[in-house]
Copies of this chain bind each other. A is one copy, B any other.
Amino acid sequence: MTVTPEQQAEIDALRAQAQPTLRATSPGMEAHLYRAHPVLDHGFIRVVDYMGDDSAIVQAARVSYGAGTKHVSNDEGLIRYLMRHWHSTPFEMCEVKLHVKLPVFVARQWIRHRTANVNEYSGRYSILDREFYIPAPEQLAAQSTVNNQGRGAVLEGAEAARVLDLLKSDANRAYDHYESMLSQDGQQGLARELARMNLPANIYTQWYWKVDLHNLFHFLRLRADAHAQYEIRVYAEAIAACVKDWVPLAFAAFEDYRMGGVTLSGKAIAVLKRRLAGEVVTQETSGLSKGEWREFEAVWG
């Protein structure tokens, strides 16, 4: 189970206590506050707090005494301009705090985004729960034959069954032994900071993660991308759905300029210009490497 009844009761208690505030408030985000959005088999993301809204971006860009501009259309135009021209500081003026439950191997990728604040559940101080990520059958994929760091076809039949069985039985055995090493029943009991080393990377951990909107967009661009590993991508997508409700104008600009955009090299620009002039360009005549040509064709045909 993702959230226990006791935890759900704590969440419900927080959602029952509205307070008046003079701060910028985002109705879309209030609806998400504290709720656990399930991700993978036992994970979740929960918005625990937020600061700012679309107007706060405009307000900071203008260093103003009041709120954003008078008209939403003006806010939208300015936000798109800021995004297009990489004026990142106004987006840094919004902040969000999340509670995330995630497998350790996902956490290890995630933490590489350094410009964020993190408080992780401590395996030195506490005993970890018996919860492991076991991929759904459609996610049990073979090693890609074309991409050294990607997945290929889905495993089937006996191979899939054997993998699932190994993952489950190894996880459970490792946890049984973790518990038995910790036990103080008739023995001293190994230190928690040592016993945890027996646990595999698909065990779940939890953390509070706080980040500004600019750095969150950077995270989403890399981790909601098709090249990201599936298991972190689903977290990025769940977060993106909340961000869309929080700062709809900024998110729309992000989708157009970042997620839906491409970066062209000087060489690729030259190829496109030759094509626009009617020339047929091949990889051999393009000046692009085979890898670049493959990526170029994926966008431009």
Contact = CB atoms under 8 A, between A and B. Distances in A.
Nearest to A61: B119
The SS class assigned to the A binding surface is: mixed
Interface in A192-245: 192-194, 196-202, 206-208, 210, 212, 222, 227, 229
B108 A97 contact: no
Contacts of A117: 89, 92-93, 212
A182 B143 contact: yes
Nearest to A143: B191
A33 to B, nearest CB: 5
A152 interface: yes
A102 to B, nearest CB: 12
A264 interface: yes
A23 B22 contact: no
Interface residues of A, number: 139
B266 A264 contact: no
A191 B152 contact: yes
Interface of A: 3, 7, 10-11, 13-15, 17-25, 30, 33-34, 48-52, 56, 59-61, 63-67, 77, 80-81, 84-86, 89-90, 92-93, 95, 97, 99, 103-105, 108, 111-112, 114-115, 117-125, 133, 135, 139-144, 148-153, 155, 159, 162-163, 166-167, 170-171, 173-174, 177, 180-182, 184, 187-194, 196-202, 206-208, 210, 212, 222, 227, 229, 255-257, 259-269, 272-273, 275-276, 289, 291-292, 295, 299-300
A14 B196 contact: no
Given A93-B117, A105-B196, A190 B143 contact: yes
